């Protein structure tokens, strides 16, 4: 069994789904996000699968790798998928721009809020990306960041408010800002 095969939940496959071929940016193919890949045959399968770029080979959506995500999370049905980034410090929900509010519906939003509560404990992040627009899901609010430039990174940090109350806040920072360490 290959290392990649060990990561896939038994009984699951990409068959009947090509959401990653639509939603992800693929630099090696000069494919922007939220556009169909020129190599996606019939919007269901990769026509160059044996020769696909390494970044495509390395990607596995959350539904393929997370046993607790049931069939409602199958990307072709949900019109979104989960992906981990930054060595597991960020969970990103990538959403079909044709269904921009899909992430706000059950069961997706409940899981994202629960993940945000867990992430807050170790300074992780839960983000949502719809086209080029981003949100950060925090335990007590969702922060709309708008478009995030290539020279920017998303960060969360603890802010102390009136009376010493501590809460998370989310923002974008220039990639070179010291507070952006590890999120570039």
CB under 8 Å, gap of 24 or more: what pairs does 160-163 form? Answer: none
Decide which of 179 and 1 is more confident.
Answer: 179
pLDDT at position 64 over 50: yes
* CB 15, CB 8: distance < 8 Å: no
Percentage of the chain with pLDDT > 70?
A: 95
Q: Say how far residue 65 (Cα) sits from the centre of its chain.
A: 14
Contacts of 97 (CB under 8 A, 6+ apart): 34, 130, 131
pLDDT band at 182 (very low <50, low <70, confident <90, very high): low
Output the pTM of the full model.
Answer: 0.89
Compute how many other C-beta atoms are within 10 angstroms of the C-beta atom of residue 179: 11
List pLDDT tens digits, range 71-119. 999 999 999 999 998 888 899 999 999 999 999 999 999 999 999 999 9
Contacts of 114 (CB under 8 A, 6+ apart): none
Percentage of the chain with pLDDT > 90?
A: 66
3-state secondary structure (DSSP) of residue 75: helix
List pLDDT tens digits, range 11-38. 999 888 899 999 999 999 999 999 999 9
DSSP 163: G
């Amino acid at each position: 069994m290959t290392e990649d095969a060990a990561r896939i939940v038994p009984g699951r496959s990409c068959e009947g789904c090509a959401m990653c071929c639509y939603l992800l940016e693929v630099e090696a193919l000069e494919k922007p996000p939220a556009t169909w890949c020129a190599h996606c045959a019939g919007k269901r399968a990769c026509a160059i699968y044996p020769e696909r770029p390494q970044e495509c080979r390395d990607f596995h959506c959350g539904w393929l790798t997370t046993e607790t995500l049931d069939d409602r999370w199958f990307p072709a049905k949900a019109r979104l998928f989960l992906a981990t980034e930054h060595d597991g410090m960020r969970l990103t929900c990538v959403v079909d721009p044709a269904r921009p509010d899909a992430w706000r519906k059950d069961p997706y939003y409940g899981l994202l809020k629960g993940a945000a509560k867990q992430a807050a404990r170790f300074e992780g992040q839960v983000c949502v990306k719809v086209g080029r627009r981003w949100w950060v899901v925090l335990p007590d609010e969702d922060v709309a960041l708008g478009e995030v430039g290539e020279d920017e990174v998303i960060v969360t940090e603890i802010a102390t408010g009136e009376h010493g109350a501590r809460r998370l806040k989310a923002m974008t920072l220039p990639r070179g800002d010291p507070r952006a360490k590890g999120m570039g």
